[in-house]
């Protein structure tokens, strides 16, 4: 099945725009805060050169997004859709980060729900890579009904592999 893994998606709170090369500086302004990365697998992504590698991988994935707050127009962070698997009709969401001013406001849940609503038109399962130390994201994804399915070493673009937990939401269990 062919579908676009990098559409523009919009709801009442946010717009997800396909990530472009010219988005580096505005996204780096969000990413340059060390506290954004404290629970992520690579805690050094706040450094410009490390973030540049992360950003380059995002562009090459052809499934990365810039997350924009609809009311203010501010860039909030980024997320990705990647690794469509036709054998089990599944896809992954991951590499998500937000600026701290957007934490705890329900915006991540809003973004993930919008992505899931879109993806479940095409796939039967959505998986999430979440760093083993990223308790905040593990709690957030569990609130959407995801279940921990496995643990996996994930080789990030230009970085050493890190332990991730793999969470899954099956289309049949997903409630809109």
What confidence tens digit (pLDDT) does each residue in 40-79 have? 878 899 999 999 999 999 999 999 999 999 999 999 999 9
Q: How far apart are CA 36 and CA 13, in angstroms?
A: 21
Per residue in 70-100, is it b (16+ CB within 10 Å) or e — as a string? eeeeebbbbbbbbebeeeeebbbbbbbbbbe
pLDDT in tens, 9-49: 999 999 999 999 999 999 999 999 999 999 887 889 999 99
pLDDT in tens, 104-123: 898 999 999 999 999 999 99
pTM, entire model: 0.91
Q: How far apart are CA 67 and CA 147, in angstroms?
A: 25
């Amino acid at each position: 099945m062919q579908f676009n893994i990098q559409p523009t998606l919009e709801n009442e709170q946010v717009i997800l725009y396909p990530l472009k090369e010219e988005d580096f500086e505005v996204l780096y302004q969000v990413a340059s805060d060390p506290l954004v990365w404290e629970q992520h697998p690579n805690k050094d992504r706040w450094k410009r050169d490390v973030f540049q590698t992360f950003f380059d991988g995002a562009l090459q994935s052809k499934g990365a997004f810039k997350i924009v707050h609809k009311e203010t127009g501010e860039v909030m962070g980024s997320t990705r859709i990647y690794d469509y698997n036709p054998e089990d009709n599944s896809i992954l969401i991951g590499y998500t980060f937000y600026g701290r001013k957007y934490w705890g406001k329900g915006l991540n849940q809003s973004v993930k729900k919008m992505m899931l609503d879109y993806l479940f038109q095409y796939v039967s399962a959505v998986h999430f890579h979440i760093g083993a130390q990223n308790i905040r994201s593990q709690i957030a994804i569990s609130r959407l009904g995801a279940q921990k399915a496995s643990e996996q070493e994930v080789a990030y673009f230009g970085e050493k592999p890190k332990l991730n937990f793999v969470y899954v939401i099956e289309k049949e269990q997903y409630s809109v």
